[in-house]
């Protein structure tokens, strides 16, 4: 077991607390494996009626995954990177299919891997400190951990907008889009957790009593614009619409898209298009694992991590550098199924 995740049981309530504050609780394989082991044990324990997931300290719930390790592995044989994704996606799927109620507290930074362990929860609590995003296209990755499932089911073209731009949402916006089920001021979380642990049989009533009406959601004012300008199913179509609009908002989003990997932007759009049609979350995880296994060894991911995380020059050199340079054949290769003995599999009971 790793001390980067803390586990406890208070009466009938089990608790998972991420405990890697210097990395804003970014997930590694040991953390994922430890959570899977405990969730399996609690699943079979009739005394456990509720599971809560939060973070022990620091300024965010979970900033993502261990990107540096994944890139270092991808630059070599990719074995460790694939092992991490396999465990992480098993954790995502286990939470998605978990029979007992799970509450995730999306307090502070909730990105990438943090989205993956909060969105499957039956109850998702956002706060006035929540910063939610799937910013993977900026490092040559794609919105994984179920992003193809969750983002494709958001209203209108909001999911495509978030996947391509990596736009950050606050707690009120998360509630408005259904990414969070409740809005509770951060200062009230400790009291809420005590109340939940004391009465796990009445989760909904306890949450309802603590929840407040969030402030107006800024994204609601942009919904019509997003639906119109991100309506195209191709990256070139989105860019053309933004260019034709010419307004201040469109120009800002154009500038944002210019910093993203054209390859993984196209991967993201295909992922969402396919994700809409999946009826089983395991199918989503199988597809995403295959894509991740390919993408983690491609130039754009290794270069994106170098530019934004290692050297921090924020000047990634994407290859191809333009959307037109990314052929359908390249995207087909990235989505090509893995051999049967290398595919992702869920936890077996």
Query: For the segment 96-111, what is each residue's pLDDT rounded down to a tens digit?
Result: 999 999 999 999 999 9
Please name which of 314, 237, 301, 303 lies closest in space to residue 269, comparing C-alpha atoms: 237
Classify residue 77 by burial, with Cβ atoms within 10 Å: 0-12, 13-18, 19+. Answer: exposed
Dist CA 213 CA 192 (whole Å): 16
Query: What is the rounded average pLDDT of the residues 55-64?
Result: 92
Show the tokens assigned to 256. Answer: 């944002």
Dihedrals phi, psi of 13, to nearest 5 degrees: -110, 125
Query: What is the rounded average pLDDT of the residues 143-157?
Result: 98
Domain count, the chain: 1
Classify residue 3 by burial, with Cβ atoms within 10 Å: 0-12, 13-18, 19+. Answer: exposed
pLDDT at position 59 over 90: no
pLDDT at position 349 over 90: no
pLDDT in tens, 261-313: 999 999 999 999 999 999 999 999 999 999 999 999 999 999 999 999 999 99
Among positive and negative, which fits the CA dihedral 182, 187, 190, 192?
negative
Q: What amino acid positions are annotated as catalytic residues?
A: 65, 113, 136, 144
Please name which of 336, 296, 238, 341 lies closest in space to residue 68, comparing C-alpha atoms: 296
Domain that holds residue 212: 5-342
Q: How many helices (H) and strands (E) does the chain have?
A: 16, 9
Dist CA 100 CA 322 (whole Å): 46
Q: What is the CATH number of the domain that holds 140?
A: 3.90.226.10
User: pLDDT tier at 62 (50, 70, 90 boundaries)?
Assistant: very high
* Residue spans of alpha helices (H) in 168-280: 171-177, 189-198, 203-210, 223-229, 235-245, 248-257, 262-275
Classify residue 131 by burial, with Cβ atoms within 10 Å: 0-12, 13-18, 19+. Answer: buried
Dist CA 290 CA 269 (whole Å): 16
* Token pair 């800024």: residue: 218
Helix axes 158-165, 235-245, angle to 10 degrees: 100
pLDDT at position 152 over 70: yes
pLDDT at 263: 98
pLDDT at position 170 over 90: yes
pLDDT at 57: 85
Show the tokens assigned to 266. Answer: 């196209």
Q: What percent of the chain is predicted at pLDDT more than 90? A: 98
Whether residue 209 lies inside any domain: the answer is yes
Q: What percent of the chain is predicted at pLDDT more than 70? A: 100
Whether residue 195 lies inside any domain: the answer is yes
| CB-CB contact of 200 with 11 (8 Å) | yes
Query: What is the rounded average pLDDT of the residues 62-76?
Result: 95
Per the DSSP assignment, residues forming a β-bridge with 132 are 110, 169
Binning the chain into helix, strand and coil, the percentages to the nearest 5 are 55, 10, 35
Dist CA 88 CA 120 (whole Å): 13
Whether residue 348 lies inside any domain: the answer is no
Whether residue 349 lies inside any domain: the answer is no
Show the tokens assigned to 348. Answer: 């077996």
pLDDT at 28: 97
Whether residue 64 lies inside any domain: the answer is yes
pLDDT at position 2 over 80: no
User: pLDDT tier at 339 (50, 70, 90 boundaries)?
Assistant: very high
pLDDT at 228: 98
Whether residue 347 lies inside any domain: the answer is no
Q: What rounded mean pLDDT belongs to the chain?
A: 97
Query: What is the rounded average pLDDT of the residues 34-59?
Result: 96
pLDDT at 83: 98
pLDDT in tens, 186-230: 999 999 999 999 999 999 999 999 999 999 999 999 999 999 999
DSSP secondary structure string, 79-127?
A: HHHHHHHHHHHHHHHHHHT-SS-EEEEE-SEEETHHHHHHTTSSEEEE-
pLDDT at position 255 over 90: yes
Whether residue 190 lies inside any domain: the answer is yes
pTM: 0.97
pLDDT at 1: 59
């Amino acid at each position: 077991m790793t001390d980067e995740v803390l586990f406890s049981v208070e009466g009938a309530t089990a608790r998972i607390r991420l405990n890697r504050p210097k990395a804003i609780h970014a997930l590694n394989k040991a953390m994922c494996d430890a959570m899977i082991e405990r969730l399996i044990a609690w699943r079979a324990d009739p005394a456990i009626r509720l599971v809560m997931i939060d973070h022990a300290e620091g300024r965010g719930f979970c900033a993502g995954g261990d990107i540096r390790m994944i890139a270092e592995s991808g630059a070599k044989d990719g074995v460790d990177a694939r092992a991490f994704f396999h465990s992480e996606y098993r954790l995502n799927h286990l939470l998605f299919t978990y029979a007992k109620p799970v509450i995730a507290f999306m307090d502070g930074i909730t990105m990438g891997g943090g989205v993956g362990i909060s969105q499957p929860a039956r109850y998702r609590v956002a706060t006035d400190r929540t910063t939610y995003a799937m910013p993977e296209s900026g490092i040559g990755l794609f919105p994984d951990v179920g992003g193809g499932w969750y983002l494709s089911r958001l209203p209108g073209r909001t999911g495509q907008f978030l996947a391509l731009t990596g736009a950050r949402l606050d707690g009120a916006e998360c509630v408005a889009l259904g990414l969070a089920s409740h809005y509770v001021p951060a200062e009230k979380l400790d009291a809420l957790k005590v109340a939940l642990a004391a009465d796990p049989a009445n989760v909904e009533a306890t949450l309802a009593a603590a929840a407040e009406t969030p402030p107006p959601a800024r994204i609601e004012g942009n919904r019509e614009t997003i639906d119109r300008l991100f309506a195209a199913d191709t990256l070139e179509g989105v860019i053309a619409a933004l260019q034709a609009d010419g307004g201040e908002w469109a120009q800002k989003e154009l500038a944002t898209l210019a910093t993203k990997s054209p390859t993984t932007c196209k991967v993201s759009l295909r992922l969402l298009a396919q994700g809409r049609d999946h009826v089983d979350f395991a199918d989503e995880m199988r597809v995403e694992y295959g894509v991740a296994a390919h993408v983690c060894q491609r130039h754009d991911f290794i270069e994106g991590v170098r530019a934004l995380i290692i050297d921090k020059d924020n000047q990634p050199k994407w290859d191809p550098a333009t959307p037109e340079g990314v052929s359908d054949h390249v995207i087909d290769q990235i989505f090509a199924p893995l051999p049967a003995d290398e595919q992702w599999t869920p936890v077996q009971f």
